[in-house]
Amino acid sequence: MSALWDLPAPERAPEGAPNAAGLGRAALKALAASFGEPAFRGDQLFEGIYAKGWMEWSAFTHLPKKLRERLQAEVRLAWPRITQSLASEDHSTKHGFELEDGKQVEGVHMPYKDRTTLCLSSQVGCAMACTFCATGQMGILRNLSAAEIVGQVMAMLAHHGRPVGSDGEPDPLNLVFMGMGEPLHNLDHVMAAFAILTDPKGLALSPKRITVSTSGLVSGIERMGAFARRPRLALSLNATTDEYRSRIMPVNKAWDMEALAAALGAFPVQSGERITLEYVLLKGVTDSLEDGRRLAAYAKRFPSKVNLIPFNPHEGSGYEAPAEARIQELCRILIQEGVIVSVRRSRGQDVAGACGQLVKEGQGRPR
């Protein structure tokens, strides 16, 4: 039978009908029960939608014909619609997704030699107002539902297909919540989506391959740490003093760097796990050699690794990326201090799909 990534874009079901796409196992069991069907029908729906990638009720041939016909007439199976796809020279693709209320978000598909990474949005816009991030200048419109988050994954797999390695098995799929929005502002829906995406009877993604990036919501960090199964954690740090961090990231006025360090130190990392410190390098603002030494000292306070991210320019930001020589100097400082460090060369810069560049024009307004 055709899988999701082999099928053309499906036609939308009649407006007003409930949508099964993006629902979790419990919700699909409830849907089956509302039709007078046993609970195991919900499991069959779940596996067909996620493990098989079926996009038409007619593909669910293991269901009774009458049930398929009723689903066809009364329930939609529609993912967020891709309205724009911009391919980068580095082979990544920025996608615009139209949601059912007409609002739009963006995500990025990034293929590598041995894996594929999808960058997901968790909100329409963002409330954090970080000065170096285009999304932050939109303001916040609303949270995404778990179904809309999962829908980005399924829609990108439908568009690109899922690469298969030489062993015939699908290549590893990584998900990063580093698109539009602050994921910990929408933690309930993010974790509901996480449960669907990691369900062994569905896409069966490893929790270790899903990363949630926060601007520093201590309350959200504490809540996420209480989940027995959870994604990996990344912190968008971006400065080494409270003075400068508060200038570029207003969240620091609520939870300063000491409060963050305490929360990260208490976060229940598993064996071999490290918290990722993302550090955007802004020329003349956060890239001094003293910044490098302070960053190293901060990183050593809890299990961590550092991603240095040269600034990705966008109109009106007023910032620049530092010279390559300065980036290498900062790397040397961190390495000498025993800190694991990498430089993240963001994908999709030429199509405004890189870190901090995602923004939908005409939605929201600068805050």
Looking at the fold, whether 259 and 331 belong to one and the same domain comes out as yes
Whether 46 and 120 map to the same domain: the answer is: no
Boundary-marking domain end, from 14, 44, 74:
74
Q: Are residues 157 and 42 in the same domain?
A: no
Residue in 119, 130, 133, 355 annotated catalytic: 355
The residue ranking higher by pLDDT, 359 or 45, is: 45
Alpha-carbon span 212 to 234, nearest angstrom = 6
> Please, are residues 312 and 357 in contact by the beta-carbon 8 Å criterion?
yes
Q: Which amino acid is at 139?
A: G
> Residue 227 in contact with residue 191, Cβ under 8 Å?
yes
Q: Are residues 213 and 173 in the same domain?
A: yes
Asked if 225 and 302 touch (Cβ cutoff 8 Å), the reply is no
CATH number of the CATH domain containing 37: 1.10.150.530
Contacts from 198-201 at CB under 8 Å and sequence distance 24+? Answer: 198/229, 199/24, 199/25, 199/46, 199/50, 201/25, 201/43, 201/46, 201/47, 201/50, 201/51
Q: Which two tokens stand for residue 206?
A: 């490893």
Quick check: is 363 in a domain? no
CA 47 to chain centre: 23
- Please report where in the chains the tokens 């009723």 appear, as a residue: 70
Is 294 within a domain?
yes
Rounded to an integer, what is the distance from CA 197 to the centroid of its chain?
12
Are the CB atoms for 80 and 98 separated by under 8 Å? yes
User: In terms of domains, do 310 and 268 share one?
Assistant: yes
From 271, 248, 218, 252, select the one nearest 318 (Cα to Cα).
248
Q: Same domain, yes or no, for 208 and 304?
A: yes
Residues 62 and 90 in one domain: no
pLDDT at 54 over 70: yes
* Cα separation, 355 vs 256, whole angstroms: 23
We report the CATH number of the domain holding residue 120 as: 3.20.20.70
pLDDT value at residue 305: 97
Q: What DSSP letter does each residue of 266-311 carry, written as one string?
A: HS-PPTT--EEEEEEE-TTTT--HHHHHHHHHHHTTSSEEEEEEE-
Residue 362 located in a structural domain: no
Q: Would you call 355 a catalytic residue per the annotation?
A: yes
Do 267 and 341 reside in the same domain of the chain?
Answer: yes
Do the Cβ atoms of 176 and 120 come closer than 8 Å? yes
Does 164 share its domain with 98?
A: yes
Sequence-distant contacts of 139-145: CB under 8 A, at least 24 apart: 139/364, 139/365, 139/366, 139/367, 140/181, 140/185, 140/364, 141/103, 141/363, 141/364, 142/103, 143/181, 143/185, 143/186, 143/189, 144/99, 144/105, 144/181, 144/186, 144/189, 145/22, 145/189
Asked whether residue 47 falls in the same domain as residue 87, the answer is: no
Count H helices, E strands: the chain?
10, 12
Number of folded domains that form the chain: 2
Q: Of 74, 89, 118, which residue constitutes the final position of a domain?
A: 74
Whether 11 and 139 share a structural domain: no
Average pLDDT value for residue range 2-17: 51
Question: What's residue 164's pLDDT?
Answer: 76
Tokens coding 27: 């919700």
For residues 152-178, average pLDDT: 87
According to the model, what pLDDT value does residue 319 have?
A: 84
In a domain, residue 360? The reply is: no
| 27 and 127 inside one domain | no
pLDDT tens, residue by residue, 219-274: 999 999 999 999 999 999 999 999 999 999 999 999 999 999 999 999 999 888 99
Pick the catalytic residue: 47, 106, 148, 278?
Answer: 106
For residue 188, pLDDT beyond 60: yes
**% residues pLDDT > 70 (the chain):** 89
Question: pLDDT value at position 63?
Answer: 96
Which pLDDT score is estimated for 346?
57
Residue 138 lies in a domain: yes
Strand partners, 81: 98
Q: What domain range is 68 assigned to?
A: 4-74
- Is 106 catalytic? The answer is yes
Judge whether 364 lies within some domain. no
